[in-house]
């Protein structure tokens, strides 16, 4: 039985792909600037993505604890970025962060406060002073998501559609004119004509087996941008979160939950001999938690490699030196959730290890968040460049909110202009042939297991510590998985077809994984989150950014000595 494929065609002004923090901020800003807005998500609106999972803190120079200035935050951001930050984007992030934090406060997000009403700001690693606001307990991301969602809903003209997976952007004459994909709910093909498109799909942590993010962070937006003709920047810099939870098995909690408690209480990182080892690696901790994420990750992996790791393959994190009442005060109800998992911090350590957490690289944009493809914008973690070779902790949420707002305004301006690229069916014919395809044969490979294979490969060969041989093994493995995946999806249109969704996801993941690996091979030095065993030193001649683009023959890399490097302190 052969059915005619079903298709729905929609039209909008500003099309936003992804409804996390960046997408929702962009939707609000574009709407308030007078544009028609359509907000899509491959999952349910405002539930997937990374924002809702952020249990952590948000950096902004509010000066509520001690005097501060955005230029101090900027200086710390550049320092963490190891000379590679796009200073225009980094400055925008830091300068606008206080305003978006105030805006969220007006929208009643519930920032933690002192009795006298001042916001509580905690000192996170890499910051020169207490700068990071938060919502108790471990509730920062959910509170931000809920607040933005309420604001989006209040703007009833914003069209929201969940479970719509975009397979490709549609470009005619070098200008984006919309997108095409499928409804996960019923499988039908959906084409959308848009006057401007914002990619707000977040990062790529799903490329790694050990990761701290949600299942839909497979780098979709990077692949969409590449195939549309846009460039990516800094793809070799994947941030690993040093102390992701490993054991005992902990459910109902984000694996990165330990960090804020480490700031507050100074948890000890110990190797199998009970030695606190971070100080052996170039940094003196002096009882406080100071090491930036790339350094901590490196130190932990080196301890494990030297055979001084824990049974589950990590190191120990211990709060046993902290009095029980202090633990209770700092952890609040989290203590009870830990108890439900059989964990008593007064009596035991937990095992932690680095896991993929965030991507510094991403879509290359101008300060108006526009790519080199006209009418195509990006926002949030999907954008590359602001954080250079290593992101300062607390910068992800301000990046989502600030870049979302800028992209929303710029796209609205573009969509409200008189001219636009008209939708052209012919420009969508390649992706339509995938979306409308009848499968040629029975599914021979399990796409879910191919995804797991890619994740294991990336963990092993393209993790925080790299070698040329390992990266070449990764490239060969990626090519093999690509062959196994085949040229067309395994199924025709059906309601909630998990295998078909995996096929489209893996198509993107393979392209993005290859971008990470090729950029990693090309950068023959160690810098920030990219550590090469075979090139262990930072090369002072290499404060350059690498751009990845997709040519007919495959991925190509250009090296650009960025005008925005090297980093210099802008603080007074």
Closest of 405, 461, 57 to residue 256, by C-alpha: 57
Q: Which is nearer to another protein, 52 or 475 (CB)?
A: 52
Q: Which of residues 497-536 bind another protein (CB under 8 A)?
A: 497-499, 502
Q: Are 221 and 378 in contact (CB under 8 A)?
A: yes
Interface with another protein, residue 219, by CB under 8 A: no
Per-residue contact track with another protein, 432 to 461, x per CB under 8 A? Answer: -----------x--xxxx-xx---------
Residues 6+ apart with CB under 8 A from 172: 421, 422, 423, 424, 427
> Of 151, 216, 349, 390, which one interacts with another protein (CB under 8 A)?
216
500: tokens are: 């078909």
Closest of 430, 441, 438, 443 to residue 492, by C-alpha: 438
Stretch that binds another protein, among 116-124, 179-187, 350-358, 550-558 (CB under 8 A): 179-187
Interface with another protein, residue 105, by CB under 8 A: no
Give the bridge partners for 37, in sequence order.
14
Q: Which is nearer to another protein, 253 or 522 (CB)?
A: 253
> Of 18, 203, 255, 464, which one interacts with another protein (CB under 8 A)?
255
Closest of 171, 149, 169, 170 to residue 160, by C-alpha: 149
Interface with another protein, residue 345, by CB under 8 A: no
Q: Which is nearer to another protein, 43 or 531 (CB)?
A: 43
Alpha helix positions (H), 234-392 = 258-265, 293-305, 324-331, 334-340
Q: Which residues of 526-563 are buried (b: 16+ CB within 10 A; e: fewer)?
A: bbbbbbbeebeeeeeebbbbbbbbbeeeebebeeeebe
Interface with another protein, residue 154, by CB under 8 A: no
Interface with another protein, residue 162, by CB under 8 A: yes
What are the counts of helices (DSSP H) followed by strands (DSSP E) for the chain? 14, 19
Interface with another protein, residue 312, by CB under 8 A: no
| Integer CA distances (angstroms), 433 to 179, 229, 306, 426, in order | 14, 20, 52, 11
Interface with another protein, residue 339, by CB under 8 A: no
Instruction: Examine the residue annotation and report whether 154 is marked as an active-site residue of this protein.
Output: no
Alpha helix positions (H), 81-195 = 87-106, 140-154
- Which one of the listed residues 82, 195, 293, 491 is annotated catalytic? 293
Q: Which is nearer to another protein, 444 or 552 (CB)?
A: 444
Interface with another protein, residue 163, by CB under 8 A: yes
Question: How many residues interact with another protein (rule CB under 8 A)?
Answer: 55
Stretch that binds another protein, among 21-29, 208-216, 291-299, 388-396 (CB under 8 A): 208-216
Q: Which is nearer to another protein, 55 or 371 (CB)?
A: 55
441: tokens are: 């044969």
407 membership: H or E segment, kind and range: helix 396-416
> Of 23, 48, 477, 520, which one interacts with another protein (CB under 8 A)?
48
Q: Which residue's structure tokens are 């040229």?
A: 487
Interface with another protein, residue 142, by CB under 8 A: yes
Interface with another protein, residue 5, by CB under 8 A: no
Instruction: Give me the active site residues, please.
Output: 293
**Residues lying near another protein in the complex (CB under 8 A):** 6-10, 43-45, 47-49, 52-53, 55, 141-142, 159-164, 183, 185-186, 188, 190-191, 214-216, 248-255, 341-342, 443, 446-449, 451-452, 494-499, 502
């Amino acid at each position: 039985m052969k059915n005619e494929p079903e298709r729905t065609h929609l039209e909008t002004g500003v099309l936003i792909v992804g409804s996390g923090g960046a997408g929702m901020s962009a939707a609000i800003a574009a709407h308030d600037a007078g544009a028609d807005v359509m907000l899509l998500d491959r999952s349910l609106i405002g539930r997937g993505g990374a924002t809702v999972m952020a249990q952590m803190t948000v950096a902004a120079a509010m000066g509520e604890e001690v005097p501060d200035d955005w230029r101090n935050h900027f200086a710390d951001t550049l320092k963490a970025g190891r000379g590679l930050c796009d200073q225009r984007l980094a400055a925008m992030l830091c300068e606008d962060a206080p305003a978006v934090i105030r805006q969220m406060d007006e929208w009643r997000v519930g920032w933690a406060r002192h009795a006298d009403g001042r916001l509580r700001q905690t000192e996170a690693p890499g910051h020169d002073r207490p700068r990071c606001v938060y919502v108790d307990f471990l509730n920062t991301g959910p509170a931000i998501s809920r607040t933005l969602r309420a604001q989006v809903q209040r703007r009833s003209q914003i069209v929201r559609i969940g479970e719509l997976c975009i397979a490709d952007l549609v470009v005619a004459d070098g200008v984006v004119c919309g997108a095409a994909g499928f409804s996960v709910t019923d499988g039908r093909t959906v084409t959308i004509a848009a006057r401007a498109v914002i990619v707000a799909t977040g990062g790529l942590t799903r490329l790694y087996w050990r990761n701290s993010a949600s299942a839909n962070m497979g780098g979709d937006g990077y692949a969409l941008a590449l195939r549309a003709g846009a460039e990516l920047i800094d793809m070799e810099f994947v941030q690993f979160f040093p102390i992701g939870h490993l054991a005992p098995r902990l459910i109902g909690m984000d694996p990165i939950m330990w960090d804020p408690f480490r700031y507050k209480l100074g948890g000890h990182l110990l190797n199998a001999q009970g030695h606190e080892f971070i100080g052996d690696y170039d940094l003196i901790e002096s009882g406080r938690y100071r090491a930036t994420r790339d350094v901590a990750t490196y130190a932990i992996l080196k301890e494990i490699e030297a055979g001084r790791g824990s049974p589950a393959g990590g190191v120990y994190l211990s709060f046993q030196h902290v009095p029980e009442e202090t633990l209770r005060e700092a952890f609040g109800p989290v203590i009870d959730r830990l108890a439900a998992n059989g964990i008593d911090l007064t009596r035991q350590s937990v095992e932690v290890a680095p896991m993929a957490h965030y991507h510094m690289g991403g879509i290359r944009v101008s300060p108006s968040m526009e790519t080199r493809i006209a009418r195509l914008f990006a926002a949030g973690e999907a954008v590359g460049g602001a954080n250079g070779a290593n992101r300062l902790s607390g910068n992800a949420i301000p990046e989502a909110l600030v870049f979302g707002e800028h992209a929303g305004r710029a796209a609205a301006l573009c969509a409200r202009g008189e001219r636009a690229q008209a939708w052209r069916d012919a420009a969508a014919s390649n992706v339509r042939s995938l979306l409308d395809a009848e499968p040629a044969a029975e599914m021979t490979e399990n796409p879910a297991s191919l995804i797991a294979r890619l994740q294991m490969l990336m963990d092993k060969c393209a993790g925080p510590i790299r070698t040329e041989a390992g990266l070449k093994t990764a490239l060969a493995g990626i090519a093999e998985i690509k062959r196994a995946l085949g040229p067309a999806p395994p199924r025709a249109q059906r309601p909630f077809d998990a295998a078909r969704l995996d096929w489209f996801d893996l198509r993107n993941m393979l392209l993005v994984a290859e971008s990470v690996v090729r950029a990693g091979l090309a950068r023959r030095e160690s810098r920030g989150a990219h550590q090469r065993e075979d090139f262990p030193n930072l090369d002072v001649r290499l404060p350059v950014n690498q751009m990845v683009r997709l040519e007919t023959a495959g991925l190509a890399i250009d090296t650009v000595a960025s005008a925005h490097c090297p980093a210099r302190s802008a603080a007074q």
